[in-house]
Amino acid sequence: MTKPDLGKLVLTVGDWSPEGWIAHLGQHVPREDIIFSDGKTPPSPDICAQVKYAVAWQTPAGFFGHFPKLEAILSTGAGVDHLVRRDDLADDVAIIRVIDPDLTGRVTAWTVMNVIAHHRQALAYLDSQNRAEWNPLPQTSAPDVRVGIMGFGELGQSVAAVLKLLGYDLAGWARNPKPDADIPVFAGMDQLDAFLARSDILICLLPLTDETREILNADLFAKLPQDGVTGGPFLINGGRGGHQNEAVLLKALQDGVLKGASIDVFHEEPLPSDNPLWKAPNILITPHTAGMSAPEALLGRMVENLIAFASGEALDNLVDRKAGY
């Protein structure tokens, strides 16, 4: 069967460097059909009228309103909160999120790295190193450390699989029950408190929805255990910046409600140099790179998905716009 012609395809990738995306997308569709936009300035009206598909990340409000025939948008990142509930997208425009082994592996590696860093007191040792002090600290075993994973989809399950091999005492929390999971999974708001009470290290890999916005707040931090072997709870957020109340996060670190944190995502990115979180105690900050998308790994599957859709097949990884993910 002849592959369908996707026609003109608009590519807009926010503040990422576009060269790699253009080059790798050009391996899958004709280069002349790739219309790059910085998201601020749309193509000419006659080009916009030919575009049915978009590959997009962090586009400004109103951008998609320039494309009257738009049928589907591929998000180049794991999050889709930048695409759902937009006034410039008709209800019938499909949104497709990325689920890819490369992206999953990157997030998993970042998350596991930070669990181990806090469990094995890496920041305390780095501080000792900076002072040239030989300072052995008490060490606990992984089975004695309770790790809670908020969000038990593709990413959460991948993280759990690796941490289970290392012996950590794991539990998950999800919107709906996961009866087939090989670790305990708490479900819904009714079971959130019980989940938090057994989470010495709390990992957030949730999608960002109205229900999860600023879920990492003072009330939640107060429900984390202070009596675990880690000497206090740690937070690892590789989800979205909108999950955390950053003023509360700062205070929790300063007051010792949280013993430490690893944060990859923020309300404002780049994180301003004068933001006090930079100097908060016992925090590891990374610049939204936990799951940095790699065009060479993602675009082949993304275009295959679009070709299947253009051939009348169902889309993989279709976002439920009402649910928000």
DSSP 250-307: HHHHHHTSSSEEEE---SSSSPPTT-GGGG-TTEEE--S-TT---HHHHHHHHHHHHH
Contact 118, 230 (CB under 8 A): yes
What pLDDT score does 79 carry? 87
**Dist CA 252 CA 249 (whole Å):** 5
Nearest of 298, 261, 299, 301 to residue 283 by alpha carbon? 261
Q: 10-residue block means of pLDDT along the chain (325 residues)?
A: 83 93 95 95 96 95 97 92 93 92 96 98 98 97 98 97 98 96 97 98 97 98 97 98 98 98 97 98 97 92 91 92 89
Position 194: which residue type? A
CA–CA separation, 233 and 235 (whole Å)? 7
- Whether the CB-CB separation of 291 and 110 falls below 8 Å is answered with yes
CA distance 234 to 284: 11
**Which tokens go with 88?**
């410039």
Q: Are 100 and 78 in contact (CB under 8 A)?
A: no
Structure confidence at residue 15 (pLDDT):
87
Q: Supply the DSSP symbol for 244.
A: B
Q: What's residue 2's pLDDT? A: 61
Strand order in the sheet with 260-263: 185-187, 169-174, 146-150, 201-204, 234-237, 260-263, 283-285
Fold classification of 8-98+293-310 (topology level)? Rossmann fold (3.40.50)
Joined together, the tokens standing for residue 277 give 């979180």
Distance CA 121, CA 137 (A): 8
Domains 8-98+293-310 and 101-285 share a fold: yes
The domain ranges of the chain are 8-98+293-310, 101-285
**275 burial class (0-12, 13-18, 19+ CB within 10 angstroms)?**
middle
List active site positions: 240, 288
Contact 246, 254 (CB under 8 A): no
Instruction: Say if residues 222 and 232 touch (Cβ distance below 8 Å).
Output: no
Amino acid letter, residue 230 = T
For residue 296, give Cα distances in angstroms to 23, 162, 248, 254: 9, 25, 39, 41
Amino acid 268: pLDDT: 96
* Superfamily in which the 101-285 domain is placed by CATH: NAD(P)-binding Rossmann-like Domain (3.40.50.720)
